[in-house]
């Protein structure tokens, strides 16, 4: 038997509810996700909100960084739901780990302030590797991660330089050498965004620590059928 990787709900369950909304995260938690992944920006009046893009979709078009939260709160998103505060989601997800992707530079202090109030486990990651480093200077105990959409020549030293616990790697680039390089740096690999059951089984067999997915149920079922068990 093999240990089941952590199953992380990518923006909740976006195939069933609007991504990055309270309904999407609630359903993911109800379905047994080990963690949720989300994206954050900061409003003009300093509220950290959960949304992927810096601009709301049509018909709204609000630039989040230029809009007060009260104006965003009234915007109904396509597919339903609204833009939640990070604090709301952290309270909702107190029983699982919340993985916070910081999408914009310069908001690290605001994000850190929210994370100090979180009732549950939290971690932070970003494509801009300076961001988790900056958060780490304020909250050294919060695990941080670096996002990659390509294959680094020197994965080990990138992880050491940033003090990252997690290498968030786009799944097609993951192989056994990458997993070993991350382990050599004292880190673990989080595969994103994996929606194919066969791909999930292959990655779990390689030894990834976590799988971020839009399909928590299907991925967990495939891994269970392949002999992986929860620790």
Helix (H, G, I), strand (E, B) or coil at 119: coil
Do 101 and 40 meet the contact criterion of CB atoms below 8 Å apart? yes
Mean pLDDT of 25-30: 98
Report which DSSP code applies to 30. Answer: H
Task: Give 114-127 pLDDT, tens digit per residue.
Answer: 999 999 999 999 99
Split into its structural domains, the chain has a count of 1
User: Which contacts qualify for 161-166: CB closer than 8 Å, 24 or more apart?
Assistant: 162/129, 162/132, 162/133, 163/132, 163/133, 163/136, 164/125, 164/129, 164/132, 165/123, 166/123, 166/125, 166/190, 166/209, 166/210
pLDDT (average), residues 139-159: 96
Whichever domain contains 184, its CATH number is 3.20.20.190
Parent domain of 65: 2-229
| Residues 219-231 pLDDT 10s | 999 999 999 998 7
So what's the pLDDT on residue 231? 76
pLDDT band (50, 70, 90) for residue 104: very high
Coil, strand or helix at 110: helix
| Mean pLDDT for the stretch of residues 40-55 | 98
Query: How far is 174 from 206, CA to CA, in rounded Å?
Result: 9
pLDDT at 174 over 90: yes
pTM (two decimals): 0.97
- The C-alpha atoms of residue 73 and residue 185 are separated, in whole angstroms, by 42
Residue 93, burial from CB neighbour count under 10 angstroms (0-12, 13-18, 19+): buried
**Residues, the chain:** 231
> Please, what is the angle between helix 176-184 and helix 155-162, to 10°?
40
User: Which of 83, 84, 112 has the alpha carbon at shortest distance from 100?
Assistant: 112
């Amino acid at each position: 038997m093999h240990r089941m990787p952590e199953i992380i709900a990518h923006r909740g369950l976006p195939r069933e509810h609007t991504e990055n909304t309270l309904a999407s995260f609630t359903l993911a938690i109800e379905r047994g996700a080990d963690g949720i992944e989300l994206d954050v920006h900061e409003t003009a009046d300093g509220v950290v909100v959960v949304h992927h893009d810096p601009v709301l979709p049509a018909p709204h078009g609000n630039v989040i960084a230029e809009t007060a939260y009260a104006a965003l709160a009234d915007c109904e998103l396509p597919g339903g739901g609204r833009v939640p505060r990070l604090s709301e989601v952290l309270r909702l997800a107190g029983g699982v780990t919340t993985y916070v992707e910081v999408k914009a530079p310069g908001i690290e202090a605001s994000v850190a302030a929210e994370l100090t109030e979180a009732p549950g486990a939290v971690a932070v990651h970003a494509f801009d590797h300076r961001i988790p480093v900056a958060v780490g200077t304020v909250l050294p105990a919060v695990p941080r991660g670096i996002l990659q959409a390509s294959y680094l020549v020197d994965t080990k030293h990138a992880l050491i330089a940033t003090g990252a616990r997690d290498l968030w790697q786009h799944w097609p680039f993951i192989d056994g050498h990458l997993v070993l390089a991350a382990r050599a740096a004292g880190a673990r690999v989080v595969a994103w965004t994996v929606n194919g059951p066969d791909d999930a089984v292959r990655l779990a067999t390689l030894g990834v620590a976590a799988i971020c997915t839009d399909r928590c149920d299907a991925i967990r079922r495939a891994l269970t059928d392949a002999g992986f068990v929860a620790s």
